[in-house]
Structure 1
């Protein structure tokens, strides 16, 4: 039986994951979309802001690329609520590529229902089709470049202190992302880790010697992915099969990328989302990335072509990235992610304190804790995001993004069910490290997603003339 809010009655009425993106649109439609969005944003905003930056504080703008499908629509809303729940200091923008005019209008209207302050934004861009065909993931560089160069309002009040954090729509924030890297940290007794003055771990990575204090012009960071440096051998007899006939000259010309070694590629450019880039580097990098992807994909017509394109574009601009591990957990079988911190948590704490709409205490970030975008936020050590691109079973429950109903955020649909007791028991009694990690993801994703669904209903449904809505714990994935 459906349960409502009870207040009133309703009035009538694999290791790496990649984005699914749009395949068709025109520049003319994009102008229509932008005009529609601009008109929506010209309405007076509620005089209430979720964050206020201090004088001179770095501006951090979280952005992600999608198409206009219902599948990526619910993920987009979830990104916003996860950022709001942890107190992310700055705007969050969905770049939606290839939307029809009516789709763009509906998204823009719903975004203003969700957040009338304009901190949650939508930017509409043409679909990123490649020469001679399409590659749906090419909307990542094309959408990013379009947003950086045409967005109104502009991405930053002062680009000289702006930071772009590029994530995927299936990434949920567990804690705020700032510009800080080595700032205020010292080496830990554990190899590949930096800790703060209280000994709390803040940064993980293979090679942290000489890491910069913060992301700045010429200093970028990213989550290390299993891309390796194979493209540094491209065109040579020693290269892997997929790279043996690859002509780097088509991508790099005679730039630095053409001389990047396997070692350099593996140590400085094997990164993926979250990418953390200074605003001054973002436009040239997005432009170089956009140019690189067609020639990479033409010779490497496989998944991750756009990620290799990013690596080569960054190398061609001589923009090495601090390759860190703590920005993400995703594949419970993987290394090179933020799992070291998860593995060090006692099993009884993996799901300890988790409940409806409440994540575990061991990884719960208190958004009332003071911090700025120039330092590491306080609180317990935890990865910045969960990239929920796998299936995660624990305690008779499971989560997989492909099984999430597309009406996950609505007034009529219910919210996710979550049995904290069963998940906690599964973590404690787990027979493998992978099973513990699955419980960790489940105990973070389901309560946070449930809290986001409830917040959405309370933000949006009254604006649609409703006085009651469905809060029954009936949804599963």
Structure 2
């Protein structure tokens, strides 16, 4: 079981949405682990005002600002500290500062599913570390954060104007070389740091990220902002490749070697498989397809968690053993006419990886939906319209 508390940070909810999400959390989430599953609501931080006076929306700006809002309003971190000031020594007994500062924050994206607990201590775990010119620190400590080596990012963030991003505080990256990016800086979620360090990061991250977006108004702008903040704070990360898996076509930036080593009979089994090295979690930021099986978070029926919607159709356990090397994509959203699904060819290795993601994601999401249907608070028990059959397929759903 995951230790500590788990907080969902939601930003920008309208009043009616706030009432609904609070009610849903209190009825269905909090009772699963009283006092441990928490909810924190913040204003929207997605609107960015540009120099020309226009406002643009970038929803991912809620990440740095939402984190900062939670840390200062729930954890009581001081908003007036200088994040660049010399920090007190690593004293875990609480004598140098509030004891909460010595805790560990694990910042995850909402599209992640854990296969086992994630604590920030990898001392006794067999992980795949990114090559580095520093010693691999296997446990989060003050001044020693840990993160997933991101499977998408390269070191292009170094080409942005540092003087502009830092508002004149710095004119360079302090000696960080282009080759250092993949060793210590190209971070992605989950991000792990002590509360003290994460608060400092959040303060600078929220300051830098909007200016990064000015220079790079694209996806990952806020992630570039995180990296620039850690560089200026002098907080290189120990990068681990195998915390999560997400994109099945990546070469060596994720935990796929563990999956590739599984027997065909193990890939679609409930994870973790006993005695096997595996990634800690699944990051379902992509679309996954093999044969006629398909999953995408953007194509899931919006009212999937309900009494009436059936569960997703589960792939067969022997899907990996079929060694399929193709996938059919479902019709576009809203398509109601005839549609010839395009056939995409895959390598055999990528086909097994797609099967791993499909089986793991569909199983976990079905478990969540079934938990809802079986809870007294849902109103599904005894409801003649309640559907627990695993018959739902995105391929056959023209509205999603």
TM-score (structure 1 length as normaliser): 0.66
Partner of 2:147: 222
Given that 1:395 and 1:423 are in contact with CA atoms closer than 8 Å, whether structure 2 keeps it comes out as: no
Q: Tell me the CA shift for residue 257 of structure 1.
A: 5.7
Given that 1:410 and 1:457 are in contact with CA atoms closer than 8 Å, whether structure 2 keeps it comes out as: yes
* C-alpha distance in structure 2 between counterparts of 1:206 and 1:257, whole Å: 24
Deviations 1:166-205 (A, max 9, x none): 1111111112101213x24xxxxxxxxxxx5xxxx33443
Given that 2:165 and 2:211 are in contact with CA atoms closer than 8 Å, whether structure 1 keeps it comes out as: yes
With over 3 angstroms needed to count, the CA separation of the structure-2 counterparts of 1:465 and 1:229, relative to structure 1, is closer
Higher relative contact order (CA 8 A, sep 6+): 1
Matched, 1:250 2:164: yes
Secondary structure of the equivalent of 1:309?
Answer: helix
* C-alpha distance in structure 2 between counterparts of 1:462 and 1:247, whole Å: 53
Secondary structure of the equivalent of 1:310?
Answer: helix
Deviations 1:304-341 (A, max 9, x none): 11110000001111011111111111111012111111
* C-alpha distance in structure 2 between counterparts of 1:211 and 1:388, whole Å: 27
With over 3 angstroms needed to count, the CA separation of the structure-2 counterparts of 1:172 and 1:426, relative to structure 1, is farther
Given that 1:90 and 1:119 are in contact with CA atoms closer than 8 Å, whether structure 2 keeps it comes out as: yes
Partner of 1:109: 23
* C-alpha distance in structure 1 between counterparts of 2:76 and 2:179, whole Å: 41
Partner of 1:66: none
* C-alpha distance in structure 2 between counterparts of 1:112 and 1:339, whole Å: 37
* C-alpha distance in structure 1 between counterparts of 2:180 and 2:130, whole Å: 16
Given that 1:393 and 1:442 are in contact with CA atoms closer than 8 Å, whether structure 2 keeps it comes out as: yes
User: Which of 254, 272, 286 is equivalent to 1:337?
Assistant: 254
Q: Tell me the CA shift for residue 123 of structure 1.
A: 1.0
User: Which of 42, 66, 81 is equivalent to 1:125?
Assistant: 42
Given that 1:257 and 1:316 are in contact with CA atoms closer than 8 Å, whether structure 2 keeps it comes out as: no
Partner of 1:171: 112
Q: Tell me the CA shift for residue 467 of structure 1.
A: 3.1
Secondary structure of the equivalent of 2:307?
Answer: coil
User: Which of 227, 230, 241 is equivalent to 1:314?
Assistant: 230
Q: Tell me the CA shift for residue 399 of structure 1.
A: 1.3
* C-alpha distance in structure 2 between counterparts of 1:160 and 1:325, whole Å: 27
Point out where structure 1 has 5 or more consecutive residues left out of the alignment: 1-86, 185-195, 235-245, 366-378
* C-alpha distance in structure 1 between counterparts of 2:129 and 2:239, whole Å: 9
With over 3 angstroms needed to count, the CA separation of the structure-2 counterparts of 1:213 and 1:388, relative to structure 1, is closer
Given that 2:147 and 2:192 are in contact with CA atoms closer than 8 Å, whether structure 1 keeps it comes out as: yes
* C-alpha distance in structure 1 between counterparts of 2:36 and 2:129, whole Å: 30
Matched, 1:148 2:64: no
Given that 2:373 and 2:381 are in contact with CA atoms closer than 8 Å, whether structure 1 keeps it comes out as: no
In the TM superposition, what are the counterparts of 1:388-427 in structure 2 within 5 Å? 388-421=284-317, 423-427=319-323
Secondary structure of the equivalent of 1:284?
Answer: helix
Q: Tell me the CA shift for residue 113 of structure 1.
A: 0.8
Given that 1:174 and 1:384 are in contact with CA atoms closer than 8 Å, whether structure 2 keeps it comes out as: yes
* C-alpha distance in structure 2 between counterparts of 1:364 and 1:411, whole Å: 31
Q: Tell me the CA shift for residue 393 of structure 1.
A: 1.9
Deviations 1:72-123 (A, max 9, x none): xxxxxxxxxxxxxxx2112222111111122111111111111231422221
Matched, 1:295 2:211: yes
Given that 1:220 and 1:319 are in contact with CA atoms closer than 8 Å, whether structure 2 keeps it comes out as: yes
* C-alpha distance in structure 1 between counterparts of 2:237 and 2:35, whole Å: 31
* C-alpha distance in structure 2 between counterparts of 1:208 and 1:113, whole Å: 49
Partner of 1:55: none
* C-alpha distance in structure 2 between counterparts of 1:474 and 1:151, whole Å: 42
Deviations 1:233-258 (A, max 9, x none): x3xxxxxxxxxxx4211223344963
Q: Tell me the CA shift for residue 422 of structure 1.
A: 5.0
Q: Tell me the CA shift for residue 466 of structure 1.
A: 4.2
Given that 2:373 and 2:380 are in contact with CA atoms closer than 8 Å, whether structure 1 keeps it comes out as: no
Q: Tell me the CA shift for residue 425 of structure 1.
A: 3.4
Secondary structure of the equivalent of 1:331?
Answer: coil
* C-alpha distance in structure 2 between counterparts of 1:152 and 1:470, whole Å: 41
In the TM superposition, what are the counterparts of 1:258-273 in structure 2 within 5 Å? 258-259=173-174, 260-273=176-189
Partner of 1:95: 9
Q: Tell me the CA shift for residue 161 of structure 1.
A: 3.3
Point out where structure 2 has 5 or more consecutive residues left out of the alignment: 78-97, 327-346, 395-400
* C-alpha distance in structure 2 between counterparts of 1:111 and 1:380, whole Å: 34
